Structure 1
């Protein structure tokens, strides 16, 4: 059992490590947007549509790759997605036409979608239900930390007066290294390392067709409502990730370069919020993940309103607000992912998370051009935070319709034991 526990954590940590650098291939875009728009002569509305294209590509990819993850596993899919995403980013760094950027960024969205659901399936295979909130909290923390890594690298490059093109070339090299390490160490399930796989109550290990997997997931009403709720949560999240850099870059950020560091507190808040809400859902909320989500998104709405109304140039105040914005708007996402194995069973985790994440990114995609249009109309980036406040409240309202019982987190039963257990 001691060896299993060690490998259990190793699988979680190597999956986290790989995902820690995945956002270097997609959250770099917000930092490149201002200079890209100026050089290519396009509006912020068009920038919003380019961001929309990536998110649509990601959403479609989730629908497909979540299902494939239940068949092929993470060890093959995650590195492939990383290598393809790196290629798309480097291609964009040499583009001189907005159409080329649009096409490559759309494809990049699909490539980026090959990691989250497969990684989630791997974690579900290695972690039992009573600890999944914690495991997914750490996994989601890695995603939030990935935003922080990307923000840090982007700010450093901008402070060195590097072209926006280098934002697509240099950070993704870290993803290349992480993907190679993942391919070497990761194993999709305990039996791949000589341990016994385990099953949940009522679960069997027979192979199901891709049609059957979709049918099971799409017939679960509670899961569909949760998927709708995460759509609004992710719309608020991406409103922060994409437009907060634009807001703080302002008309002339070089006149006050320290203001850029304020934005770094947001992804740090996201990372800490994820691991915090992951543990809170198992402890304080006793497995009632919808309730913890509603609390977090209500707090997110309040913070976004404070940012909108204050218009402060105080770095300390802005730092606190951006940290809290990230903490609440993204932290609750750690509570969405365990709902897939909780409501559907571990067997359909990949398909479920794929569909849930598809909904998340469809909504985020729809939000980007709308928020871009709001900025073009108002000539004021702060109105993005008013919109985020409203979106957060809608999420809190929708998730309240998901009834959740503690019984869904019941014990798992092992199929068999090996000497190594």
Structure 2
């Protein structure tokens, strides 16, 4: 390997790491609401429907913003979109921490939803230009853990802040950190020149024309929407679920919820690696198997309301593993497979955006279900969503299998 090639590899590795840490940083100003929610509910005495509407409005704007920002990242570049998004998220979080009314909180969290939507399409664009096409599954699986690492750190960090300084501080401290990171990203990304110029000289993969109208993409989006229903449960409601069902302290509830993304780390890396290593880049086989496993885990979770806390944590770990494996493949690896390197931001924005538009309905609906039927009703809803994702994944597997047989 020549000196130039070695230098290029190091620059790409640095940029991969920077993109990884940048998207993880977004979660500091996102999952802090989930951890602060139990304390906010006790102090402010709003119904769960109000919190569900807040989560749903976030998801609606986040979903639309993903589609819009996928296009912006292609035209303006990831650097500008990410920097502006991080700063806007920090600003809205600071104001949220000082808000006094439900209306103000909903508006500010909705603004934060748009700010957060700048992240995923932009980092997928960056990383897609760095990947070796023969190892997209493995590299995409590794990169897909960025939001899991961000989730884990955010849950632990926010739990520590809330328990020591109160829930309003959970929106101030992250704002400071992501503001600093925004400037760090802007400076470091500006120094990365060689690898980006090399990527521009390489002939880009031709995007699949009309792919957004194919039955595969429709099924991918529908399966992702179904998994987002489950993910919203694990992400938005998990600390409150543990806090209320097991009567733990808020700090321990956040620690229990943090086991979910830790399981997801294993699932994300494993799913990408095994699809490259044993299934010749055929992703749908792995997606189908893992969504089926997720359905069984959620059914066990529903039937184990009165089990010990430690046993529930084990179930949550495997739930995270079975959820985030197919989730990462649908949101990270398949957009690159289907969209090509220069269309990856568009595909990622479309898939992830539609998924979050789906949670616009799910979040307030789950809040209503919990208020009327308790947590058992919520686990039934999440199990049914997983079964739906399994059915759609099976349909995708059948389509892919027929294509392979025709080759």
TM-score (norm 2): 0.90
The 10-residue stretch of structure 1 (278-287 or 172-181) with the greater mean CA deviation from structure 2: 172-181
> Number of matched residues?
396
Aligned to 1:110: 114
The 10-residue stretch of structure 1 (280-289 or 50-59) with the greater mean CA deviation from structure 2: 280-289
1:314 aligns with 2:308: yes
Please list the CA deviations of residues 193-232 of structure 1 after superposition, one character each: whole Å capped at 9, or x if unmatched. 55663235556xxxxxxxxx9x845333322321121111
- Contact map agreement 2:242 2:248 (CA 8 A) in 1: no
CA drift at 1:85: 0.4
- Contact map agreement 1:340 1:349 (CA 8 A) in 2: yes
Q: Distance in 2 between matches of 1:257 and 1:114?
A: 30
Aligned to 1:76: 80
Please list the CA deviations of residues 77-127 of structure 1 after superposition, one character each: whole Å capped at 9, or x if unmatched. 112101100111111100001111111111111110001101101111111
The 1:358/1:257 distance shift into structure 2, 3 A limit, reads closer
1:334 to 328, 334, 338: 328
Aligned to 1:395: 389
The 1:180/1:284 distance shift into structure 2, 3 A limit, reads farther
Q: Distance in 2 between matches of 1:167 and 1:328?
A: 29
Secondary structure of residue in 2 paired with 1:42: coil
- Contact map agreement 2:240 2:253 (CA 8 A) in 1: no
Q: Distance in 1 between matches of 2:246 and 2:285?
A: 42
Secondary structure of residue in 2 paired with 1:404: helix
Q: Distance in 1 between matches of 2:9 and 2:196?
A: 15
2:231 to 228, 231, 237: 237
Aligned CA RMSD, in angstroms, stands at 2.5
1:56 aligns with 2:51: no
Please list the CA deviations of residues 343-381 of structure 1 after superposition, one character each: whole Å capped at 9, or x if unmatched. 232222111111111111011221111111111012x22
- Contact map agreement 2:91 2:175 (CA 8 A) in 1: no
The aligned runs of 1:352-363 (5 Å cut-off) are 352-363=347-358
- Contact map agreement 2:58 2:109 (CA 8 A) in 1: yes
The 1:255/1:170 distance shift into structure 2, 3 A limit, reads closer
Aligned to 2:362: 367
- Contact map agreement 1:23 1:146 (CA 8 A) in 2: yes
Q: Distance in 1 between matches of 2:323 and 2:43?
A: 32
Q: Distance in 2 between matches of 1:360 and 1:115?
A: 15
Q: Distance in 2 between matches of 1:182 and 1:321?
A: 37
- Contact map agreement 2:156 2:254 (CA 8 A) in 1: no
Aligned to 2:339: 344
Unaligned ranges ≥5, structure 2: none
2:188 to 171, 180, 185: 185
Aligned to 2:126: 122
Secondary structure of residue in 1 paired with 2:203: strand
Aligned to 1:325: 319
Q: Distance in 2 between matches of 1:159 and 1:324?
A: 27
Q: Distance in 2 between matches of 1:345 and 1:11?
A: 19
CA drift at 1:340: 1.8
Q: Distance in 1 between matches of 2:314 and 2:15?
A: 34
2:11 to 2, 7, 11: 7
Q: Which has the higher helix share?
A: 2
